[in-house]
Amino acid sequence: MREDRGLLVVVSGPSGAGKGTVCRHLLEIRPELISSVSVTTRLPRPGEREGVHYFFRTPEEYERMREAGEFLESASVYGSGYATPRRFVYDHLRAGRDVLLEIDIQGALQVKERVEQGVFIFILPPSMKELRDRITGRGTESEDVIIRRFAKAYEELNFVSRYNYVVVNDIARDAARRIEAILIAEHCRVDRNRELNRKLLEEVFPHDVSTYQ
């Protein structure tokens, strides 16, 4: 993918670290960011809407889409299928818009293989006690599920080294501001601005920009 296109921003990290909460704040302060809507085989929770929170599909339909190559990445999370629609993401990136994926670690690592210019951000809790309290406090899971999620989160901390940035979610709004700062810096990187630099050189010497790069 060329450097003058939008940024693919992947936010992931252990369950309960606050990915969803931080991303909601980020979208408030940067509303031009395009949030990808995933496909899932899990059932909608109360209040969740088709096409807004997820595209809810049967396991058969999900499998058909996967085989047809419609997913940028896909993963099984707690027994359900989750996937990012490839077309939606690439269309926005090509149009120069930044796209946000809030996905689990297995999915993020697949995206990293395919889109090496992506920006990979790992959300960490301020402490393991706080992580446990957040998983428990969400109130949507049984004790059994809480224990499994906490154990998985503990293992998942090992994957942090595969990411480009770490953001500690102490105060959600502050964490979102740090991600905003990362996006601003990423847009200023030399390798994302070659096209602009070339145009400036061409303005002066239209036929000789060969010395650049």
**CB closer to ligand ADP, 95 vs 151:** 151
CB 75, min distance to ligand ADP, A = 14
**CB closer to ligand ADP, 13 vs 81:** 13
**CB closer to ligand 5GP, 62 vs 82:** 82
CB 132, min distance to ligand 5GP, A = 16
CB 76, min distance to ligand ADP, A = 16
Exposure of 110 in the CB half-sphere (CA atoms within 13 A) = 16
Distance in angstroms (rounded) separating the CA atoms of residues 59 and 61? 6
**CB closer to ligand 5GP, 103 vs 199:** 103
What are the start-end ranges of the H helices in the chain? 19-29, 59-67, 86-94, 105-114, 128-137, 143-156, 172-187, 194-204
Distance in angstroms (rounded) separating the CA atoms of residues 41 and 176? 29
| Residues that bind ligand 5GP in the complex, under the rule CB under 6 A | 15, 19, 38, 42, 73, 75, 77, 82-84, 102-104, 106-107
